[in-house]
Amino acid sequence: MNEPVFVIPLWADLLAVGLGGVQGALFASGFSDDGTGGRRLDFLGVAIIGIVMGMGGGLIRDLLLNVAPTTLQSNWYLLTAAGAALVGMLLANVFQRLNGVIVALDAVVIGLFGAFGTSKALVLGLPVVPAVFVGVCAAVGGGILRDVIMGLPVAVMHVGSLYAVAAGVGCAVLAGAVALGAPVAAAAVAGVIVTTVIRLLAVIFDISLPEQRALHRRKVALETTSIPVIRPAAD
């Protein structure tokens, strides 16, 4: 008996898109270029960043899976992302006072996009490792596109609070649970929870991966050069 195909619920997909749109707008609203006298993005710029953040992860996921982008198959995705970006821009001052809530929502969004990406990849028949890769790309894809469009260093590639690592662990938990026979929906919930918890702990306790360092061969201590070498006497 074949297991029914897992379909991402529309409300859950739109929730992730909407939260991503709000986060993108909040980020763009607070952006200023100090080198040009504090010039800020206009409404269109904020809306574009919000839409990119809300829909970017899903677009990257579907492009990697070589399927028609789900976010372009319904009017609701673009409308939700644009509306969320507008709300995020107009209520930026209110949201800034709820920093803890925003951080928590950010963690949930990472988990949602990662879980949706990995689940869809597994359902389409991808092996575990590529499915986890697709999930991580979906989780961080919106942020990467945002940074590229705004001409900023890509945050996920610099020392930070386990952004991609949290998504990777959550996606791995999801894929492992499915491989062990768990239903995809239940495994997706577990993946979201794991990603959210790791991300929140990383932010709260300021945990990050160690900065890259070149490997160096250990040098012999200088004082050892003064130790005489005893050689056997010649007969």
Each residue's pLDDT tens digit, 111-133: 999 999 999 999 999 999 999 99
Distances (CA, A) of 22 to 38, 60, 106: 22, 19, 10
3-class DSSP state of 112: helix
Taking only the tens place, the pLDDT of each residue in 55-65 is 999 999 999 99
pLDDT value, residue 214 = 63
Question: CA triplet 189, 114, 71: central angle to 5 degrees?
Answer: 105
Which element (helix H / strand E) includes 40? strand 39-40
Q: Looking at 100-109, 115-124, 169-178, which range is the least confident one?
A: 100-109
> 163, 141 in Cβ contact below 8 A?
no
Q: Quick one: pLDDT band at residue 225, thresholds 50, 70, 90?
A: low
> Which helix (DSSP H) or strand (DSSP E) does residue 33 occupy?
strand 32-33
How deeply is 37 buried, as exposed, middle or buried, from its count of CB atoms within 10 A (0-12, 13-18, 19+)? Answer: exposed
List the chain domain ranges. 11-208
Q: Which of 211, 102, 112 is nearest to 166 (CA)?
A: 112
pTM above 0.75, yes or no: yes
Q: Output the pLDDT for position 3.
A: 47
The C-alpha angle with vertex 67 and arms to 143 and 24, in degrees rounded to 5, equals 20
> What's the CA gap between 45 and 82, in Å, rounded?
12
